A and B are shown apart, each in its own frame.
Chain A
Amino acid sequence: MNTNSVAASVVVVGAGLGGLRAAEALRGAGFEGAITVVGDESAMPYNRPPLSKEALSAGVHVAELEFRRKASVDDVDWRLGSPALASDFAARTVTLADGTQLSFDGLVIASGIRPRRLPIAGPEAGRHVLRTAHDAVNVRSYLAPGRSAVIMGAGFIGCEVAATARGLGAEVHIVAIDEQPMVRPLGAELGMGMRSRHEHHGVNFHLGRTVQEFLGGDHVTSVLLDDGTELPASVVIEAVGSVCNVEWLEGNGLDLSDGVLVDQGMVVAAEVPVVAVGDIARHPNALFGNIPRRIEHWNIPTETGRRAGASLASLLRGEQPDQAPFAAMPSFWSDQYHHKIQSFGMPGIATSIQIVDGSANDACIVEYSNDTGLVGVVGVDRTSELAPYRKQLLDR
């Protein structure tokens, strides 16, 4: 291992929020060597949640979505527009799609996720996902009065796009196998309440249904469901989950079945050394029994990035990383129409759900519990009242 910080260099694969925070944390922990950040998109790290909400509605300007970067990362070498294709931990190299080979003393895995695509017959043109600013520009071009948007998937992204598309005047259909929208994170009762809000705004739900085929010539014009229903489609937006960008890590002996397994310090392989952050990092959380899980919530890249950067800086100095438990509070939020949803904890692992204040069709606070006690809380239009619940979750 190279313990001379003058010569040490770090490659960060992934130029999203997690990669940025890891680079900042390396500097914050005193790492003074070279940092190179590799990104598949051409943009500097930017905030993705607005892509299904306010930016999709008002127009996508990626420069306005860029994260402010700390001055400590001004000297980072940004290699944007070319994804990593391969890596060799033994040789300590990463190979990019453009053929560049980068050597490293330490590696940060921050390559994140991409939308899942389903193998469905029919024309490709008119089928879109929503992950990047480029995707949002494409989707937005279809959302207007007289157009029809068919959204596959009733999770948060699908529902946020539905709300935005209605706001722009498009006809909206949501097709999903689930019995209620957002049922996995929110539960059936609140899911039904959110469905009512969407129906009030004119969204058509086709729940318990799947897409059989896309119809049209060169471009999708309609969508055929498994019950024979045909829906008009100017555009199809596929929001049916995600897959991890792990292909470039193959051949290094890692278990890549569900992201990348890390320890409480976000360390993948101490002897190389390699750390991982963000959506791709299957990490233990002492607040929730230390069972390693991937959590695709917005605050997790920041929380894991801080820890990973500090761990890697220690390893590059030949020191043991901080062994303290990792205990970060997962949090997500969503805007749909004028409604604000906010969550703390892990409502998705609950076995018991109770509305403790208000009702599912109105402003409410919902508690999520399992045999270990309270595991999550969700507020709808009551977001400023959740602090005591968050405290209760932290004290678990």
Chain B
Amino acid sequence: MVTITVDMDKCQSYGQCCFEAADVFALNDDGQLEYVAEADESRRADIEGAADVCPMQAITVE
């Protein structure tokens, strides 16, 4: 299981993570990031990719 944490104090809703792993990260109608905190191990590469491209480096994947 992949565990995802986003530091919402850092997140600026640039949405780059949403393009890497749309099933995990999404911007809601107010432009705020929503994400699922756990995902299947098969999704690890894309989720780590999402953490890589976050301009604010706000995403932690464990």
Contacts and interface: CB of A to CB of B under 8 A. Distances in A.
A47 B58 CA distance: 12
Interface string B23-58: 000010001000000000000000010011101010
Given A67-B57, A333-B14, A386-B15, 9 more contacts: A21-B52, A298-B55, A299-B53, A329-B19, A383-B14, A384-B31, A387-B18, A387-B27, A390-B19
A383 B11 CA distance: 13
A21 B53 CA distance: 11
A383 B15 contact: yes
A49 B56 CA distance: 9
Contacts of B48: 70
Contacts of B12: 333, 335, 340
B55 A49 contact: yes
B52 A384 contact: no
7 contacts: A68-B57, A299-B16, A384-B31, A385-B31, A386-B15, A387-B15, A387-B18
Contacts of A49: 55
Interface in A331-372: 331, 333, 335, 340, 342
B1 to A, nearest CB: 17
A333 B60 contact: no
Interface residues of chain B: helix, strand, loop or mixed (majority): mixed
Interface string A169-182: 00000000000000
A314 interface: no
Contacts of B57: 47, 67-68
A70 B14 CA distance: 23
B51 A383 contact: no
Interface of B: 12-16, 18-19, 27, 31, 48, 51-53, 55, 57, 60
Contacts of A335: 12
Residue of B31, B52, B57 contacting most chain A CB atoms (<10 Å): B52
Nearest to A340: B12
B56 to A, nearest CB: 9
A47 B52 CA distance: 11
Contacts of A132: none
A331 B52 CA distance: 14
A330 B27 CA distance: 20
Contact of A384 (B13, B19, B51, B53): B13
Given A299-B53, A302-B53, A384 B60 contact: no
Contacts of A387: 15, 18-19, 27
B59 to A, nearest CB: 9
A302 B55 contact: no
A340 B52 CA distance: 21
Contacts of B52: 21, 302
Contacts of B51: 68
A23 to B, nearest CB: 13
A331 B15 CA distance: 11
A382 to B, nearest CB: 9
A68 B57 CA distance: 8
B31 to A, nearest CB: 3
A333 B15 contact: no
Contacts of A331: 16
Given A68-B60, A70-B48, A333-B14, A384 B55 contact: no
A384 B16 contact: no
Nearest to A381: B31
B13 to A, nearest CB: 5
Which A-B residue pairs are the 5 nearest by beta carbons? A384-B31, A384-B27, A384-B13, A302-B52, A333-B14
Contacts of A383: 13-15, 31
Nearest to B52: A302
A390 B18 CA distance: 12
